[in-house]
C-alpha cells in the first residue's frame, strides 16, 4: 500500500501539476480531494502545455484512474468542457470518476462570488470568481446540492427549486444582480445529466480498496497551505483545506494510509489575489521574475505578485502537513542574480519571529529578515544531475533543506516533464 500526497507549500502555483504528472506514471489512481476549478495546474509534455482545473493532473496517463473526490466542489459544466477540450485533442477521458458525495458548484455560486467581489470595495479578496467560497458556504450551512442528488431527478429538481428561490432573493436584494430562471436551469442540468451519471461512484470505497490492495494512489492538492481556511492569511484564503489533513477529510482516507507527503516549494514566492505578502517585490526584479517565470495565473491570467522565498511560510507547511519530502521548482528562474535574499524571520514591533503571525496587522507591519545567499549565472534548465548544478545553486537547495529540516527529493529546472534532478527516489 502506498498513499502519496502532493501539496502546495506557499500560495499556490508552485508547480504541483508538473510533479503530479511526473509521479502519475507510477500511479494506479490520482485523486483530487479539495478545491474546485479555482486550481490551474500546468503540465508540459514535449512542449505541449495542458492546463487542468478540475481534472486531476494524472489525466494524461490513461492507466491511472482519475478521481474527483468527496471534498471537491464540482462545477459540472466546467468538468464536461474540460473533458471535451482534452478529448478533441485526442486525449481520452473515460478514466474520470466523480464522487457521489462531492458538492455541485452551481451557476448561482459563480454569480454570487462575482457580485460579492464586485461590491466588496476594499474588502475584496481577489478570488478566482469561480464560486468556490459560496459553494463551500452552502455545504457547511447544509443547503448544498450533491452529485448523488443527480441520480434522483425529482430530488434534484426539488432541491434546486427550494435553493434557487433563496439564492435569487440574495442575488437581487443584496447585490441588485440578475436572478436565474428555474426552468432554464433545470433544462441545463437535464442536458448534461446523462453524461455525468456514468462517472458517479462511491469514491471513498474505490480509493480505500485501491490503497488496501497495495495500489499506488496519489492525492493531488490544489491551492496551498497559506491559502488554507484555517492556517492561511485569513480572510485572504480559499474555502478548503489544501493540506495532508484535507486528504483524510476530503477523500475519506485514514492518516495511517498516507506514506509520503511531498510539499512543492517554488524557489521564490508568488501570490495571486489580495492579502499579505511580506517578501513581496515591487520593483524591476519583480518584473524580471514575472516575465522569466511566466508568472501569470493559469486560471485567471492575472499577473502574479512575486517576491523572495519566505522560509517561515514554508516551515508552516512542513509542520502542518508533516512533509516527508520537498520538491523544489523553478530554481532555474533565479539564474543570473548576484545574490538572492531568503527570508528567515519577521521583525514586528521590534521583536523577531520565525513563525507566521495570525494577525493581518502584524503581517502588514512585518519587516522580512533576510539572509543573502550568493547567486549563479548559468542557465540550468538542461542540467539533470545535482552535481552538475552550479555550486551556489546547490548551496541554495541545501540551505532550504537544512533550514526546513526536510529532505529535498527533487529539483525541477524546467516546465517540461523531464526537466528534473532526482535526489531521492520516491518509488
Ligand atoms: P500549480 O498550480 O502548482 O500546478 O502550478 P501552475 O501550473 O499554476 O504554475 C506553475 C508554472 O510553472 C507552470 O507554468 C509550469 O509549467 C511552470 N513550471 C513548473 N516547474 C517549473 C520549473 O522548474 N521551471 C520553470 N521554468 N517552470 C516551471
Ligand atoms: P493552484 O491549485 C493560486 C487564490 C485566489 C484568491 C484566493 C481565494 O493553481 O495552486 P478562491 O477562488 O479560491 O475563493 O480565491 O485564493 N487562489 C489561488 N492562488 N493558485 C491557486 O490554485 C489558487 N486557487 C485560489 O487568487 O486570492
Ligand atoms: Mg496554479
H helix or E strand, kind and range, residue 87? helix 76-88
- Residue in 209, 353, 329 with CA at minimum distance from that of residue 263: 329
Backbone angles phi, psi at 223, to 5 degrees: 55, -145
Cβ pair 423, 340 in contact under 8 A: no
Can you list the positions of beta strands (E) in 12-116? 29-32, 41-45, 48-52, 65-68, 73-74, 96-99, 103-104
> ∠ CA(313), CA(124), CA(107), 5° rounding?
105
Mean per-residue pLDDT of the chain: 97
Cβ pair 379, 332 in contact under 8 A: yes
What is the Cβ-side half-sphere exposure of residue 402, based on CA atoms within 13 angstroms?
Answer: 5
User: Is residue 351 scored above 80 in pLDDT?
Assistant: yes
273 lines ligand 2 (CB under 6 A): yes
Rounded distance between C-alpha atoms, residue 152 and residue 157, angstroms: 9
Cβ pair 369, 344 in contact under 8 A: yes
Nearest CA to ligand 1 atom 18: 415
List, in order, residues 6 or more apart from 116 with CB less than 8 Å away: 133, 134, 175
* Choice from 42, 56, 267 to test ligand 1 binding pocket (greatest atom count within 8 A of CB): 42
Our measurement of the distance from residue 284's CA atom to the centroid of its chain's CA atoms, rounded to an integer in Å, reads 28
Looking at ligand 1, which atom is closest to the CA of residue 297?
8
Cβ pair 27, 230 in contact under 8 A: no
13 is annotated as an active-site residue: yes
User: Is residue 1 scored above 90 in pLDDT?
Assistant: no
202 is annotated as an active-site residue: no
Render pLDDT for 309-349 as a digit per residue (tens, 0 to 9). Answer: 999 999 999 999 999 999 999 999 999 999 999 999 999 99
For 117-144, what is the mean pLDDT? Answer: 97
Rounded distance between C-alpha atoms, residue 417 and residue 110, angstroms: 33
What pLDDT is attached to residue 253?
Answer: 98
What pLDDT is attached to residue 298?
Answer: 87
Our measurement of the distance from residue 320's CA atom to the centroid of its chain's CA atoms, rounded to an integer in Å, reads 16
What pLDDT is attached to residue 300?
Answer: 86
What pLDDT is attached to residue 179?
Answer: 98
221 lines ligand 2 (CB under 6 A): no
223 lines ligand 2 (CB under 6 A): yes
Write out the three cell numbers for 54: 478540475
DSSP state of 50: E
Rounded distance between C-alpha atoms, residue 379 and residue 373, angstroms: 18
- Residue in 278, 242, 248 with CA at minimum distance from that of residue 263: 242
Taking the model in full, what pTM does it have?
A: 0.98
Long-range (24+ apart) CB contacts under 8 A made by 148-156 are 148/100, 148/101, 148/200, 149/104, 150/104, 150/189, 150/193, 150/196, 150/197, 150/200, 151/100, 151/197, 151/200, 153/190, 153/193, 156/189
User: Is residue 299 scored above 90 in pLDDT?
Assistant: no
Rounded distance between C-alpha atoms, residue 290 and residue 110, angstroms: 29
For 119-124, what is the mean pLDDT? Answer: 96
Residue of 21, 41, 53, 310 marked catalytic: 41
Evaluate the omega torsion of the peptide bond into residue 235 and state whether it is cis, within 30 degrees of 0. yes
Looking at ligand 1, which atom is closest to the CA of residue 293?
26
What's the pLDDT band for 414 if we cut at 50, 70, 90? very high
What's the pLDDT band for 426 if we cut at 50, 70, 90? confident
> ∠ CA(92), CA(95), CA(99), 5° rounding?
135
39 lines ligand 2 (CB under 6 A): yes
- Residue in 54, 65, 58, 151 with CA at minimum distance from that of residue 101: 151
For 235-250, what is the mean pLDDT? Answer: 98
Q: How many other CB atoms are there within 10 angstroms of residue 291's CB atom?
A: 13
Rounded distance between C-alpha atoms, residue 248 and residue 242, angstroms: 11
Render pLDDT for 283-296 as a digit per residue (tens, 0 to 9). Answer: 999 999 999 999 99
| C-alpha dihedral sign at 421, 424, 426, 427 | positive
H helix or E strand, kind and range, residue 326? strand 325-329
Q: How many other CB atoms are there within 10 angstroms of residue 295's CB atom?
A: 23
Q: How many other CB atoms are there within 10 angstroms of residue 151's CB atom?
A: 14
Grid-cell match 499506488, residue found: 216
Rounded distance between C-alpha atoms, residue 323 and residue 295, angstroms: 25
Q: What share of the chain is helix, strand, coil (3-state, %, to 5)?
A: 40, 20, 40
Render pLDDT for 169-203 as a digit per residue (tens, 0 to 9). Answer: 999 999 999 999 999 999 999 999 999 999 999 99
For 251-255, what is the mean pLDDT? Answer: 98
Amino acid at each position: 500500500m502506498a498513499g502519496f500526497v502532493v501539496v502546495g507549500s506557499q500560495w499556490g502555483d508552485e508547480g504541483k501539476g508538473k510533479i503530479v504528472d511526473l509521479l502519475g506514471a507510477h500511479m494506479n489512481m490520482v485523486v483530487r480531494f479539495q478545491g474546485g476549478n479555482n486550481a490551474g495546474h500546468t503540465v508540459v509534455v514535449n512542449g505541449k502545455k495542458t492546463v487542468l482545473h478540475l481534472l486531476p493532473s494524472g489525466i494524461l496517463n490513461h492507466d491511472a484512474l482519475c478521481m474527483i473526490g468527496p471534498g471537491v466542489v464540482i462545477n459540472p459544466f466546467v468538468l464536461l468542457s474540460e473533458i471535451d477540450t482534452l478529448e478533441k485533442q485526442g486525449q481520452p477521458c473515460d478514466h474520470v470518476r466523480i464522487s457521489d458525495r462531492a458538492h455541485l458548484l452551481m451557476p448561482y455560486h459563480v454569480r454570487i462570488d462575482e457580485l460579492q467581489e464586485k461590491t466588496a470595495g476594499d474588502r475584496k479578496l481577489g478570488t478566482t470568481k469561480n464560486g468556490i467560497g459560496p459553494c463551500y458556504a452552502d455545504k457547511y450551512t447544509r443547503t448544498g446540492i450533491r452529485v448523488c442528488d443527480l441520480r434522483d431527478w425529482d430530488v434534484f429538481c426539488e432541491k434546486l427549486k427550494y435553493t434557487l428561490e433563496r439564492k435569487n432573493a440574495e442575488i437581487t436584494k443584496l447585490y441588485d444582480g440578475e436572478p436565474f430562471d428555474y426552468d432554464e436551469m433545470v433544462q441545463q442540468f437535464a442536458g448534461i445529466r446523462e453524461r455525468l451519471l456514468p462517472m458517479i461512484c462511491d469514491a471513498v470505497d474505490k480509493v480505500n480498496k485501491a490503497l488496501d490492495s497495495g495500489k499506488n494512489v496519489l492525492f493531488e492538492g490544489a491551492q496551498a497551505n497559506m491559502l488554507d481556511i484555517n492556517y492561511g492569511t485569513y480572510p485572504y484564503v480559499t474555502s478548503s483545506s489544501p493540506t495532508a489533513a484535507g486528504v483524510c477529510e476530503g477523500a475519506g482516507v485514514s492518516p495511517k494510509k498516507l506514506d509520503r507527503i511531498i510539499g512543492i516549494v517554488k524557489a521564490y514566492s508568488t501570490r495571486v489575489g489580495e492579502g499579505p505578502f511580506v517578501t513581496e517585490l515591487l520593483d524591476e526584479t519583480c518584473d524580471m521574475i514575472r516575465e522569466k517565470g511566466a508568472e501569470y495565473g493559469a486560471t485567471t491570467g492575472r499577473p502574479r505578485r512575486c517576491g523572495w522565498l519566505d522560509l517561515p511560510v514554508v516551515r508552516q507547511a512542513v509542520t502542518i502537513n508533516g512533509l516527508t519530502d520537498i520538491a523544489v521548482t523553478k530554481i532555474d528562474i533565479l539564474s543570473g542574480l548576484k545574490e538572492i535574499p531568503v527570508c528567515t524571520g519577521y521583525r514586528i514591533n521590534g521583536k523577531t519571529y520565525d513563525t507566521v503571525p495570525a494577525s493581518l496587522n502584524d503581517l502588514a507591519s512585518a519587516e522580512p529578515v533576510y539572509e543573502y545567499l550568493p547567486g549563479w549565472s548559468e542557465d540550468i534548465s538542461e542540467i539533470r544531475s545535482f552535481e552538475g548544478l552550479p555550486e551556489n545553486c546547490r548551496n541554495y537547495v541545501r540551505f532550504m533543506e537544512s533550514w526546513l529540516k526536510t529532505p529535498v527529493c527533487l529539483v525541477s529546472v524546467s516546465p517540461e516533464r523531464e526537466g528534473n534532478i532526482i535526489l531521492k527516489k520516491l518509488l
